[in-house]
Chain A
Amino acid sequence: MSEEPEETINPPKIENAEIVDQETSQKTMTPGQAETRQESQTLTGEGTPETDVPSVQPAVDVTHGHDEHSDTVVLPFINQTVTVPGGIYTVVFLGLGALTLIEVVLGSVIPTGSVKVIALLAIAVLKALLVVMFYMHLRTDNPIFRLVLGLPLLIVVLSMMYLIAVPPQGGLGYLPPPGPAQEAAAVLTQESSAVATQDAATDVTQEAAAVITQESSAVVTQEAPADVTQEASAVVTQES
């Protein structure tokens, strides 16, 4: 924060607060600049001094560091300074375009598999992060916004992982159609069940036949003595 002249008002202390200069470079004011520009600390015009306006501090830009308004960007990893119109926004845009191109090439060339899925999803997440951090200013904004975004995102990711990983037998009741291996196993199960059923039926039939045979034998045995008795009676009658 730069020093204020005596007549000006100290702005409230706000996190990540930067004083936005009205010049095109949007530099943070140094104490020396603040003193020389005391008369032009307003929000109007192109930096023209407004002598009738009370000396107040211009509205503090709570959202952006001054580097996001500068055309000069320090590239990460290579620590190279470049000057492009639009500054960091243009650099991020070019990065997003390059990543999209890589995605399309990977999607067209690599055969479907876990490598392809992981690579593409990683690039997508990186692109999303670039947009969220730089375009949505989450990098420089109030940290509470990260919580507001991150908490539902975390819950959603965990839920998705669970839904995709849940076993196909039962779980949420979702039973996908069987794959080739499962179909073969099902056929085998059916065949073995059919054989068991046939065997069981055969056993039952045999048992039933045995029972019938016993019963018929018993009947014959019962009838036979009756026949013998009649024959014996007939013989006795004849003899008498």
Chain B
Amino acid sequence: MWARVVEVMLGCWLAVSPFIFRHSAEDRALWVNDLLSATVVIVLALVSFWPPLRFAHIANLAVALWLIAFGFWASPYPTPPALQNNVVAGLLLLMFAIVPNEANRPPRPWRDFKHSNRIN
């Protein structure tokens, strides 16, 4: 579950990003985007710990793509630091969200296969 823990950390980074990159009060889109993405990322990472929702982290791939797209198109080039932060956070999230929960054990179907073969 280490990838889920990293996702929570990335979510925390996004949550403090408006203060680090000093979004002005008028830049409502930047505030909403950072805080909303942060919340979604953290929630999806945490609910992945509950077995029935163990694949919830896959939805973080969509958030990652959204963050990258937002960073690309929310402003003309040169991209301001706050949006470059979104691109980088999105790429990082893309990398971690794809890592399975119990990444260092064989996947569940192969574990079940092994088990049924032992019994038979």
Q: Do A and B come from one complex?
A: no
Q: Mark B residues whose CB is within 8 Å of A.
A: none
